[in-house]
Amino acid sequence: MSGKPLAMVTGASSGIGWAFATRLAEEGYAVCAVARREDRLEQLVGHLPGAGHSYLAADLANDEDLAAVGAELSTGAYQLLVNNAGLSVMEPFGEAPLAAEQNLLNVNINAVVALAHAFLAHGAEGDALVNVGSVVSYLPTPAMAAYSGSKAFITTFSECLWSQQRERGVYVMALCPGMTETEFISAATEGESDFSSLPDAMVQSPEEVVSEALQALDRRRDAVVVTGRSNRLLSQLPRLMSRSRLIRLMSKMGDPEDRL
């Protein structure tokens, strides 16, 4: 591991996190993978190229687990943090259990803030922080009220950090993918929805998302990176229509029972 840059990736047991860990290992990073499922983390670390990889099994909604991951970042050894862990609840707000909504906010907001703080407190010139948001940060989606709000927070929070950290030479990015071929929708809908009714052009693979993210990381220019041409077009909708019309549109487009 000597001489290798260190990266931590949260939510690494599947999807975008798994793809990030794999690509970063291929590019010479020693990766610390963080997720709840230890068996999947063992599988991931076992297939990563190179040496020096590790994992932390942690539920970022749990205060003790979150503190343990933050303590690891507070060593100051890491040059890159990918805050990727996130989840959604696709039930009407008020019908879903409050505990489920609070768990979502703990993972999507509280953990992102806590780990970003632990990382940036020891950040040095050349380091980078990637907070994974979503294109729904531009598109309020009634079917995912708390999720939409959490991703809007991540985008704005990251833009502010991007500005604050520039003088230090630390790069901060809000990465905003759209529909991606992961377990996310299936988990959020308890297996009731998939991507079968969506056009192929609207769905990216995790590897495509990560490829665009790493290209942007090399450039270190933009505060917000929206991946996929169709998502970049969708992100312009708030400029083209009223807020009320946009919300009505997204209440239809974002309903997994109708569209997914």
Tens digit of each residue's pLDDT, the chain (260 residues): 457 999 999 999 999 999 999 999 999 999 999 999 999 999 999 999 999 999 999 999 999 999 999 999 999 999 999 999 999 988 888 899 999 999 999 999 999 999 999 999 999 999 999 999 999 989 888 889 999 999 999 999 999 999 999 999 999 999 999 887 866 554 444 445 555 555 665 689 999 999 999 999 999 999 999 998 888 888 887 788 888 887 787 787 656 555 44
The pLDDT value recorded for residue 27 is 97
**pLDDT at residue 23, as a whole number:** 98
CA distance 247 to 251: 6
Rounded-to-10 torsion of CA 154, 107, 87, 203: 40
Q: How far is CA 60 from CA 29, 108, 258, in A?
A: 23, 9, 31
Complete domains list, the chain, with CATH? 6-259 (3.40.50.720)
Rounded to whole angstroms, how far apart are CA atoms 112 and 66? 10
Q: Which residues are catalytic?
A: 147
pTM of the model: 0.87
CA distance 81 to 9: 6
Helical ranges in the chain per DSSP H = 15-26, 38-47, 63-73, 98-105, 111-120, 145-165, 184-188, 206-219, 229-234, 237-240, 243-253, 256-259
